[in-house]
Structures are given as structure tokens and as C-alpha cells.
Structure 1
Amino acid sequence: MSTPIPLPPAARLSLVDRAVGLTAVGAARLIALTPPVVLMRLLRLLRTGARPATYREAARAREIVTSVSIMCAGEGCVQRSIATVVISRLRGSWPIWRSGVRHDPFRAHAWVEAEGHPVEEPETTTGYTPILSV
């Protein structure tokens, strides 16, 4: 699943944020390799007890992810979105994780939403129909 996204500039991170980001990206890589039914179970389990994330919290988590991983900063939308929810959860909140499709032309994409809006995603993300959501 991928939608071309211009690479954002890497943020300057503290050692703690860098370590958290690298850990979340590694965990997300493993989670992304699982079948969809397992992925959904894992994300639902992680979400348990979390409060809804604010847009700002989710955007900061995404910024950390894209600063430590060139794959996540580019076209690795599944890994990026999973790593973003992992970091958010470590901080007590949960943005909505979504995966969806667009039909003309066919594309698939994964992203996170907070406060009813896709977090730091291109405007075209609103054209995707969500298929999976946690």
C-alpha cells in the first residue's frame, strides 16, 4: 500500500524520542508482516485503555517516526501508520488507524486520524474509502 508522499524534513529529536521512534518502527515492521486478521487483533489489543489522541499528539508521533526512518518518511504507509499508533499508545493515547482503497486509479493506503482528520497526510487521503479501522 502506498501513496507517494514528499519526504518531510527530519526533526531534531532527543535521545529518548529517537529510541522510542526506532523501537516503534521496528515493532511496526514486524506487525505489518502479519496477516490482516492478526494485525487487527494486535492493534485492538494495543488500543485497550487508551484515550483518543489529539491531532497534535498524533502529529508529533508521526514526526518522530518519519525522522528516524526513511522508509516511513517515504512510501511505507503501513509501517508509518502502525509506528505512529504505537508511539501514541506508549504516551497513553490512540489515534484512529485506517487502511483503505481508492478506485480510479486503484490505490491502497494506510494512515492515522485524530479529531476527525487524517494526520499530516496529503489532501488526496480523503478520497480513500476506509476498509479497516481501529
Structure 2
Amino acid sequence: MSDSMALPHQPGEATAGQWLVGWPITVTARALATLPPRHIRTVLTLVSRRARPATYAEAKAARTTITSVSPQCAGPRCLPRSIATALLCRLRGSWPAWCVGVRTAPFAAHAWVEAENLPVDEPPGTDSFRVLMTVAPRPTPASVTRAAMPGGTLP
């Protein structure tokens, strides 16, 4: 999306376990990134179902794994990086908010993930983007039911 959001790649930091899990996810994310935006949103919405919200530490660990195994995701390719980060979080049982936004001066588009209402490991200026699309974690049916009950408990 935007070269200004490129990250330096530090090769050789990934462990064998990170490669085993992270590489197939980055391949999947790169394939998803070629789809039209509405299809990406549909796929990610389906995948995110019944996942608990990711903590900042979980999302950062996932992002670190992804950028360690993929030079493309560590570089200027924010869309596959953000998709891969979200997918790896989901594999581990959680879901960050996946976001895509733009800014006008200077024009740039960017994709990132947020956890605990903070952009995860993003360079300064990410907050200047106007969010156009988000796939946020949604409460599971059980948590919705509990929240609707007086006192937040089930009978």
C-alpha cells in the first residue's frame, strides 16, 4: 500500500517453529491480498468468528513471527502483513482488529492490526489514517447472552 510504512527486515531471527507456522500463513495472506477488498473482508469476517479479542502482546508476537519469516511482509507490503498477523492470531485463538485506511496529505493507504485499541508495532503516523474498513473481534453468543442478563450472569 504505502512505501512510507515499510519496516526494516532483520533476516535470520525466525526459529524453526516460527517458519513452520508462519510461512504457510504468509503464503495464504499474500493470496488473500490479491482479492477485491470486499472479498478480503468477507473471508476475514468468517475466520474471525468466535475468536476472543487479541491482547497487544499476542498481536505483537504474531506480527514479529510474520515479519521474521517473510521479507515481503517485513517490507512495504502492509496488506499481506496485516492479514497474516490477523490469521496467525486466529490460529492461536484470538483476533485483533484488522484495519485499512487512507490519508490525504500526503496521500497514502495502509493496512494494520490493532489490539487493545492501539496499532500494533506500527510506525508513528498510523493514527493519521482514516479507517475505511475494519474486521474487529466480535463477542461470542455466550458473552452476548451474559452481558444482556442483569448482573452479567446466566440464570
Shorter-chain TM band? over 0.9
CA distance in 2, matches of 1:70, 1:62: 13
The one-letter amino acid of 2:49's match is T
CA distance in 2, matches of 1:10, 1:111: 21
Aligned to 2:88: 87
SS at match of 1:64: helix
Aligned to 1:51: 52
CA distance in 2, matches of 1:45, 1:55: 22
CA distance in 1, matches of 2:98, 2:12: 23
In the alignment, is the contact (CA less than 8 A) between 1:102 and 1:127 conserved in 2? yes
In the alignment, is the contact (CA less than 8 A) between 1:59 and 1:120 conserved in 2? yes
SS at match of 2:125: helix
Q: How many positions carry a matched residue from both structures?
A: 134
Once the two structures are overlaid, the 10-residue window that deviates more, 116-125 or 9-18, is: 9-18
TM-score normalised by L of structure 2: 0.82
The one-letter amino acid of 1:115's match is E
The one-letter amino acid of 2:20's match is A
Aligned to 1:101: 102
| 1:11 positional shift | 6.6
| 1:8 positional shift | 4.6
State how 1:1-134 maps to structure 2 within 5 Å: 1-2=1-2, 3-10=4-11, 12-134=13-135
SS at match of 2:8: coil
RMSD: 1.2
Unaligned runs of 5+ in 1: none
**What is the CA deviation profile of residues 63-99 of structure 1, one whole-angstrom value per residue up to 9, with x for unaligned ones?**
0000011111010000000000010000000000000
**What is the CA deviation profile of residues 25-68 of structure 1, one whole-angstrom value per residue up to 9, with x for unaligned ones?**
00001111111111110000010010000000000000000001
| 1:9 positional shift | 3.0
Could you tell me the percent identity over the aligned residues? 46
TM-score normalised by L of structure 1: 0.95
CA distance in 2, matches of 1:126, 1:94: 20
Higher Rg of the two aligned structures? 2
Unaligned runs of 5+ in 2: 136-155
